[in-house]
Chain A
């Protein structure tokens, strides 16, 4: 089943914030990107990751977990970026 970018971000976040993942991601997108979660685009990911990283540093002192979380999001951003390039090449 195809998932949108917001779902991908929530899926990654779930490993770190469990049941709070969905609410957390929605707040970051709405408050900092001023967007509806369904409107999240690959180009927004860089900014979203920065905000998430900032928020996580305020929430937790577990820098190892935060670094892994950010790395997972970076990997998602990279995959979406290469996916977009792939589409351009195919055109």
Chain B
């Protein structure tokens, strides 16, 4: 990421805002008691959270910037317009990471000062987390569909069936959690199970469908795309995009299992979270590598 680029300044601004919001307010006493931590210990824990967040945001912005640069180079070509849609999807996902983290920190601060706002803050936070993936996956699916139409490729029937089955399984498991464990989920979501299913379950299932279907379409296009040397870069780029989509779905799904997550020890929760964030960072770096290789072709 170039120091002079606008996206770099956005990254620095987001990081500063997040760090200040996390470190300036007094530590939450309930958290200190729950995890048996001192105030200094919680600050150290906050720092260990800020560093990986900073890294993943950087990787996300870096991956987007490289892909955007590539799409600008080929914007006059037919596939350029579709790559630009994929890049826009990645931008929304990348911006969603810091914006949701900052928004969550602001909601937590307000809730800490105004206990009556605690439940509404959870509800607002849950809906806010839905917005960015929804918009991003709409753009990514539009780009994937556009590429498929250009190459006149269609995913095979068994792949479509598998995608539909995966969304059904994810959806049924999600709804089962709401129905079977609704008392826990009511305390988690602070809404009735019916409302959770209608206003969170359905949008999430739609997002998962868009993401999985776009992944299948992108992989189908990649199999058909010509060019021995071009494919080296292209496969990295699309492999990265598909990994980002799949890991984002996994993270969204795990966030719906927060009841199960809170039953784990802090160490396991952090380990799971860091592992997924590390993988997501890796996927953005793979996008950047692929876009860099393709950019070289366009600049040679």
B88 to chain A, nearest CB (A): 20
Taking residues whose C-beta sits less than 8 angstroms from the other chain, chain B's interface range is 10 to 19
Identify the B interface with A (CB < 8 A): 74, 77, 79, 225-232, 234, 293-294, 296-298, 300
Closest to A54 in B: B300
The CA of A48 and the CA of B234, in the complex, are separated in Å by 26
Known: A23-B74, A23-B77, A62-B232. A15 touches B297 (CB 8 A): no
Please tell me if the beta carbons of B232 and A17 are within 8 angstroms of each other in the complex. no
Give A38-62 as 1s and 0s: 1 = Cβ < 8 Å from B's Cβ atoms: 0000000000000000011011101
| Interface set, chain A 12-31, CB cutoff 8 A to B | 14-21, 23-24, 27
Residues of B within 8 A of A55 (CB): 300
Chain B neighbourhood of A84, CB < 8 A: none
Task: Give the size range of A's interface with the partner.
Answer: 20 to 34
Asked whether, in the complex, the Cβ of B225 is within 8 Å of the Cβ of A19, the reply is: yes
Contact yes or no, A19 B232, CB < 8 A: no
Interface positions of A (Cβ within 8 A of B): 14-21, 23-24, 27, 55-56, 58-60, 62, 65-66, 69
**Of B226, B293, B296, B300, which is within 8 A of A18 by CB?**
B226
Contact: B297 with A59, CB < 8 Å?
yes
Indicate if the CB atoms of B229 and A59 lie closer than 8 Å.
Answer: yes
Give, as a whole number of angstroms, the nearest-CB distance from B218 to chain A. 15
By beta carbon, the residue of chain B nearest A20 is B297
Q: How far is the CA of A56 from the CA of B293 in the complex (A)?
A: 12
- Determine the chain A residues whose CB is within 8 A of the CB of B297 once the complex forms: 17, 20, 24, 59
Q: Measured between alpha carbons, how far is A14 from B229 in the docked complex, in Å?
A: 10
A15 touching B227, Cβ below 8 Å: yes
List 11 other contacts, CB 8 Å, given A19-B230, A23-B77: A14-B226, A15-B226, A15-B227, A16-B228, A18-B234, A23-B298, A24-B298, A55-B300, A56-B229, A62-B228, A62-B229
Closest Cβ of chain B to A76, distance in Å, is 17
Output the nearest chain A residue to B225 by Cβ-Cβ distance: A18
Name the contact of A59 in the complex, choosing from B79, B226, B296 (C-beta under 8 A): B296
Task: Report yes or no: A16 in contact with B300, Cβ–Cβ below 8 A.
Answer: no
Rounded to whole angstroms, the CA-CA distance of A23 and B73 in the bound complex is 10
A14-B227, A18-B227, A19-B226 given; A24·B232 CB < 8 A? no
